[in-house]
Amino acid sequence: MPTIKVSVSGESLSPKRMIVKGRKFEYVVDKDESSPLEYILAALAGCINIVGFLVAKEMEINIEKIFVEISGKLNTDKLMGKNTEERAGYKEIEVKVRVQGDVEEEKLEEWLKQVEERCPIGDNIMNETPVKVSVEKA
Amino acid sequence: MPTIKVSVSGESLSPKRMIVKGRKFEYVVDKDESSPLEYILAALAGCINIVGFLVAKEMEINIEKIFVEISGKLNTDKLMGKNTEERAGYKEIEVKVRVQGDVEEEKLEEWLKQVEERCPIGDNIMNETPVKVSVEKA
């Protein structure tokens, strides 16, 4: 059964802060300390790590450690309610991966291609994903 | 200056586990306890909370608390390297928002529309976002 369902539930602690419960972990997401904008980049980083080691094992290449630097730029006008043609989210995300291990540079390009294609978070950011939202009174 | 840049950096602790540093917070992302798949949903939850209270203030509606339930389904075949037409990431994400406060149901629909449009994370998930990835040896 390769289809899985992942769920989280959140409850606001304040206008800036929400506690989000996953299966085994609680996430505190807030505006100033651990923002949603960092959370989505952290999701992408963690995904590259897991898929990176998975693909390395399949390709029989020896990766000891993966480092990533991820950054994104966005214009806050739409978020703040200003009339703008700019999008609300990141316009572009840049990911720099550095790999420690006994592996040829050439192999790394092939490795990266696989990682990019197979990382679920990368797919959801790069491509369109339907989000169905509903609201009711508690 | 409404354009901001957000950055994180990550270092693998193990094939399943990465520590990701943000501006003021460290995120541990791993396969089994706090997975990237939960992280991206937590980002969306926290975003709805922050933008939800922001929009409520502008609309002068009285929201005391926001609850969210978010779930997504995905097929793990592509992630696992199987030959498949399925995408790697979530096929669809469902968000159920419940609002506690002295507010009319009608107003809530208008509120939700604004929140959906202005939430950066929702925008990055719903729409295409370029992700530029490069690799080098450490």
- What is residue A100's predicted lDDT score, i.e. its pLDDT? 97
Task: For chain A, give the mean pLDDT.
Answer: 96
pLDDT of residue B83: 85
pLDDT per residue as tens digits for the range A35-56: 999 999 999 999 999 999 999 9
Q: Which two tokens stand for residue B51?
A: 């933008």
B34 vs chain A: nearest CA distance in angstroms? 6
Kindly state the tokens that stand for A69. Answer: 């630097």
pTM of the predicted structure, to 2 decimals: 0.97
How far apart CA A25 and CA B34 sit, in angstroms, is 6
pLDDT above 60 (res A80)? yes
The Cα A29–Cα B98 span in angstroms is 18
pLDDT digits (tens, 9 = 90+) for A103-113: 998 999 999 99
In Å, what is the CA distance from A86 to each residue of A94, B5, B118?
19, 15, 11
B96: contact with A, CB 8 A cutoff: yes
Mean pLDDT of A90-117: 96
Task: Name which of B17, B131, B136 to mutate to probe chain A: the one with the most chain A Cβ atoms within 10 A of its Cβ.
Answer: B131
Structure tokens at B130: 């370029």
Instruction: For residue B24, report the phi and psi dihedrals to the nearest 5 degrees.
Output: -130, 5
Which tens digit of pLDDT belongs to each residue from B3-32? 999 999 999 999 999 999 999 999 999 999
> What CATH architecture does domain B35-126 belong to?
2-Layer Sandwich (3.30)
CA distance B119 to B74: 23
User: Phi and psi (nearest 5°) for B70?
Assistant: -125, 135
Contact (CB<8Å) A131/B92 = yes
Q: Which of A 38-77 lie inside 8 A of B, CB atoms?
A: 38-55, 57-58, 65-77
Structural domain spans, chain A: 35-126
Above 70 in pLDDT, residue A1? no
DSSP-based helix, strand, coil % in chain B, nearest 5:
35, 40, 30
pLDDT of residue A83: 86
- In this prediction, what percent of chain B has a pLDDT beyond 90? 95
> Residue B69 is encoded by which pair of tokens?
């339930």
**A23-36 pLDDT per residue, tens:** 999 999 999 999 99
Which residues on A lie below 8 Å from B128 (Cβ)? Answer: 126-128
**What is the reported pLDDT for A133?**
98
Over the stretch B47-88, which tens digit does the pLDDT of each residue have?
999 999 999 999 999 999 999 999 999 999 999 999 889 999
Mean pLDDT of all residues in B114-127? 97
pLDDT of residue B1: 58
* B134 pLDDT more than 80: yes
Give the tokens for residue A84: 């703008």
